[in-house]
């Protein structure tokens, strides 16, 4: 079962989030018919989203939008503090490999931006935007955390695709230095950079996330919480109804007279919602008030 584990390490001076997201990416592969390269990029983006959701509280939620001007187009991920994650890409049918490995950088591109929109349930949304640095999501989010959240961190993401276009493993880790971190913690973490480089190997060779934590931190870590994760779309007919209302009278009138109905497909989960002529007329009447 997919989950993210929150832990403290280095005697409480380092915060760790480690996630297993294999089921989430496999759901996304089926829903969106992702090809291997897009699955690789989407898997890492969903993992980062899931972990950033786990950093939130209560009914807080976030949206990540990544666009590197590569063939995949926009990569969109929504996540929340309840462990619910969903996402989509503009162009799921992209496949680029180099030297036998999936090529994330050519798929995503590196000439663009990461936008993070956090709904902290305050008056305003927290919106931040950083330029993509490399097209490697783990490196680019390390930059994001430093630049946008002033948090020095180490980020590693990994996915292994099987011949049948399903993920064998998918997951990632984000390690953050807390304000009381010491120089020795930085030196220690730098010494672990090499094993973290191959997150997919770590996920494949270790049965549990806890085993990976043991491998990195020995016995110097405490698990605080484990949050189950799932691909979940919160869309509803009511949601799309209010969306239709925002189109305005002219657009709705055209739908009623020309099409006699409206079919809306959710970007995130591909669920179809059909609005009959009568339903559209009711929405149209609501606008007059
Ligand atoms: Zn949906």
pLDDT band at 45 (very low <50, low <70, confident <90, very high): very high
Q: Around ion ligand 1, which residues have CB less than 5 A away?
A: 233, 235, 266, 268-269, 271
Distance 158 CA to ligand 1 centre (A): 26
Least confident of 12-26, 195-209, 235-249: 235-249
Distance 8 CA to ligand 1 centre (A): 35
Distance 278 CA to ligand 1 centre (A): 23
Decide if pLDDT at 16 tops 70: yes
pLDDT band at 248 (very low <50, low <70, confident <90, very high): confident
Residue 24 CB coordination number (10 Å): 30
Structural fold of domain 237-288: CBS domain Like (3.90.1280)
Phi-psi region of 270 (alpha: psi -120 to 50; beta: other; left: phi over 0): left
What would the mean pLDDT of 100-107 be, rounded to a whole number? 92
Q: Kindly state the tokens that stand for 244.
A: 């239709």
Task: List the chain domain ranges.
Answer: 3-231, 237-288
Decide if pLDDT at 109 tops 70: yes
* CB-based burial, 69-94: b 16+ in 10 Å, e otherwise: ebbbbebbbbbbbbbbbbbbbeebeb
Single out the residue of 20, 29, 8 nearest to residue 51, CA to CA: 20
Residue 179 CB burial class (10 angstroms; 0-12, 13-18, ≥19): exposed
Please provide the DSSP assignment of 115-169 as one string: EEEEE-SSSS-EEEEEE-SSS-HHHHHHHHHHHHH---EEEEEEEEE-TTS-EEE
**pLDDT value of residue 287:** 79
Q: What Rg value do the Cα atoms of the chain yield, rounded?
A: 21
The pLDDT mean for the chain works out to 95
Decide if pLDDT at 73 tops 70: yes
Distance 79 CA to ligand 1 centre (A): 13
Single out the residue of 64, 41, 27, 6 nearest to residue 222, CA to CA: 6
Please state the φ and ψ torsions of residue 284, each to the nearest 5 degrees.
Answer: -60, -40
Distance 67 CA to ligand 1 centre (A): 21
Distance 159 CA to ligand 1 centre (A): 24
The top-level CATH class assigned to 3-231 is: alpha beta
Contact 88, 267 (CB under 8 A): yes
What would the mean pLDDT of 67-74 be, rounded to a whole number? 97
Distance 249 CA to ligand 1 centre (A): 25
Distance 42 CA to ligand 1 centre (A): 17
């Amino acid at each position: 079962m997919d989950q993210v584990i929150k832990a403290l390490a280095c005697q409480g001076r380092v915060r760790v989030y480690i996630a297993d997201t294999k089921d989430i990416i496999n759901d996304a592969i089926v829903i969106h018919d992702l090809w291997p390269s897009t699955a690789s990029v989407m898997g890492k983006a969903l993992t980062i989203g899931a972990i950033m959701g786990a950093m939130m509280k209560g009914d807080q939620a976030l949206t990540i939008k990544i666009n590197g001007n590569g063939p995949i187009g926009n990569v969109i991920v929504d996540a929340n503090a309840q462990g619910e994650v969903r996402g989509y890409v503009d162009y799921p049918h992209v496949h680029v490999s180099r030297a036998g490995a999936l090529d994330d950088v050519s798929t995503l591109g590196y000439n663009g931006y990461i936008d993070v929109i956090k709904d902290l349930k305050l008056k305003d949304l927290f919106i931040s935007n950083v330029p993509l640095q490399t097209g490697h999501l783990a490196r680019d989010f390390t930059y994001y955390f430093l630049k946008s959240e002033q948090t020095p961190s180490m980020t590693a993401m990994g996915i292994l695709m099987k011949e049948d276009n399903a993920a064998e493993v998918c997951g990632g880790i984000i390690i953050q230095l807390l304000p009381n971190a010491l120089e020795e913690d930085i030196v220690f973490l730098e010494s672990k950079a090499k094993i973290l480089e191959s997150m997919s190997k770590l996920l494949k060779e270790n049965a549990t996330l806890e085993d990976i934590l043991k491998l990195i931190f020995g016995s110097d870590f405490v698990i605080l919480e484990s949050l189950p994760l799932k691909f979940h779309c919160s869309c509803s007919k009511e949601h799309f109804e209010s969306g239709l209302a925002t189109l305005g009278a002219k657009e709705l009138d055209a739908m009623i007279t020309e099409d006699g109905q409206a079919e809306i497909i959710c970007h995130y989960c591909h669920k179809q919602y059909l609005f009959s002529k009568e339903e559209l007329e009711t929405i149209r009447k609501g606008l007059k008030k």
